[in-house]
Structure 1
């Protein structure tokens, strides 16, 4: 967790993972990177997804264990300390980074323990992804052919280790650029067209329709948020440009499409309502992208059953869940790999109050070891 590695800057984390694997005898040639980072949004990204292919020492289905290496920016520079059974950040202004370094450590523990103890196991793939926190970009651009066609797949991310996440919400993000006309705000404001005013009208329209925040109407269930507004440069100039960044989330892809259309309609309508003394109006440019599709798996999917069995053998009752946040599993599912996601003790992710429950983390490590070795099923 102390290793810096925000999205796009995961090279030091990958180097640590590589170091630990080489130390227990993983051959250099078994460790590789793909080029997913070259297709993501960060031009100076330092590394791609880290992929490890391990031969089994007995027959069995290939199992993939995965976690993401990046953290949100607030966690860069974390200094973890143990406090009453919890790992927390020493700095009140810095997050811990347990999301998802605890996941990386869980997968790494299972692999290194198996090899160090020369335990029996089938073929394994380890996947450490990049750029999860900025829209699952590493998983989206993953070179799937490097994974060795895993039959079973398991992802460690946030929450209680008893929680098995078998589905997750879909997310759509958009960038909205409003181009107005600049004018002196004191001498000739009537000659300008304020991009800020246009944005305000559109936002108010969406608010009045109940389309901002939690949405529950007309059969639509989801959330939306306008999280960034940037524009203008002086109080004495009618603002000629504003950029907004927004997102829409839902467990129903059709709902996402409809809400995206409603957002676009609100901004295109607002443009027509602000005119200068020459009857000129602003223009709007909207660019949207379905970052990840919603998905939901059956509890009967083999990976879910294997994870459930591993928990049950430890005396833990599995809890099936559907996530309201995106997971790398969204894209793996779209790539044709059904991945169940498990927690490893992280709580209050993306906050300065983030903490890692050490007992839950140890439980996650035991679950991962059982899954990786095949102890869950007696393979």
Structure 2
């Protein structure tokens, strides 16, 4: 039986342990201790050297009472800023912070739900297959923990990531994304005494950006310029500017096409800027395109979807498949042929000091997870 008080106490305890990205060691140790108390075999991978975190990803395994393939359950341990010194408040059925920080429900509500479900399984002796829990680091700064996870250590081929809002939805479609970095090189000069001897790198970049349609391109594609860094002083013609952006799309061809369009805009702006007489090698462009994550696209008849739907129906919980514009660790797992749907915990207004999660939603998410594990054990879906 789900113990609401224990679930609440677990959540309150976890959110009060600071774990901003790259500083997850303390919360990792606490979660590992709790998982070991439930009988899990645990280990921490060596991803820290690549993520820059003070710990690796935490992996826990529970032997099954039923001989079937294992199932993956995953959440992330890190939070965004301002995430230190969180003082949680519980009022009218909702958890919030005191307003000076985030709450950390993203994603510690998920971890609390996982721990409660695993506790109930042990206490009530519920038959279950082998379970793998993967608690990642540095999700909030580019899915880094998942990207550098030693995937060879993961045995599951299906699973669920708990990292969404809607407890009545399972995310089955998420976009792929490219990260774009454009470095425009110009020429420095005194902005007052001899501006004609310089080439303003920022001005060149601005011409490129002005030629690009940003925002929503269509129902499945977006692009954005999010960072512009350049210049040393107002009296110096800037000789370098760095522009960073992204493209996302559910269609791989559109992802490639919009990426090319954005790059072409920068190439055109550079090519159409006249060099100074003294310097014919500038302006010039460096373009760096990197795949951030691949799209996920899980058919409605896939076992991951059918299992969740069957469990929800049995519990009279309405559940629908959903499409999102965001990425999650599930995108990384998907690229390794580990098909993971994304389930919600009820968290709202994430990444703000207004973040909240309701007790009722956390209980319902725990019920659904328990239902999934029960049905997985007897494969009645």
Could you state the TM-score of these two structures normalised by the residue count of structure 1?
0.90
Structure 2 SS opposite 1:324: coil
Query: Which runs of structure 2 are paired with 1:322-333 in the superposition (5 Å)?
Result: 322-333=323-334
- Supply the distance in 2 between the matched residues of 1:151 and 1:178 (Cα, whole angstroms): 44
**CA displacement at 1:276 relative to structure 2:** 5.1
Shift of 1:132: 1.6
Q: Structure 2: how far apart are the matches of 1:302 and 1:36?
A: 30
2:188 paired with 1:186: no
C-alpha separation in 1, matches of 2:338 and 2:230: 42
C-alpha displacement at 1:236, in angstroms? 0.5
Aligned residue pairs total 364
Conserved? CA contact 1:65–1:372, under 8 Å: no
In 1, Cα distance between equivalents of 2:266 and 2:376? 56
The aligned counterpart of 2:8 is none
Instruction: Tell me if the contact between 2:221 and 2:247 (Cα under 8 Å) persists in the aligned partners.
Output: yes
CA 1:342–1:186: 2 relative to 1, 3 Å = same
* Gaps in structure 1 of 5+ consecutive residues: none
Confirm or deny: 8 A CA contact 1:309 1:377 kept in the other structure.
no
For residue 73 of structure 2, what is the aligned residue in structure 1? 65
1:160 counterpart = 2:163: no
Moved more, 315-324 or 70-79: 70-79
Q: Which residue of 2 aligns with 1:176?
A: 182
For 1:169 and 1:24, the matched residues in 2 are separated by 36
Structure 1 runs of 4+ aligned residues shifted over 6 Å read none
Contact preservation (8 Å) 2:53, 2:137: no
1:125 pairs with 2:132: yes
Per-residue CA deviations over 1:206-230 (Å, capped at 9, x if unaligned) read: 1xxxx211113xxx84111111111
Provide closer, same or farther for how the CA distance between residues 221 and 114 of structure 1 changes in structure 2, counting only shifts above 3 A: closer
Give deviations 1:279-305, integer Å, cap 9, x for gaps: 643221111211111121111111211
Distance 1:316 1:164, change over 3 A: same
Q: C-alpha displacement at 1:22, in angstroms?
A: 2.3
Deviation at 1:151, TM superposition (A): 4.6
Partner of 2:30: 16
Further displaced range: 249-258 or 220-229: 220-229
Question: 1:83: how far off?
Answer: 2.6
Q: Can you list the C-alpha shifts for 1:29-62, whole angstroms capped at 9, x where unaligned?
A: x10122233334xxx3212221111112233332
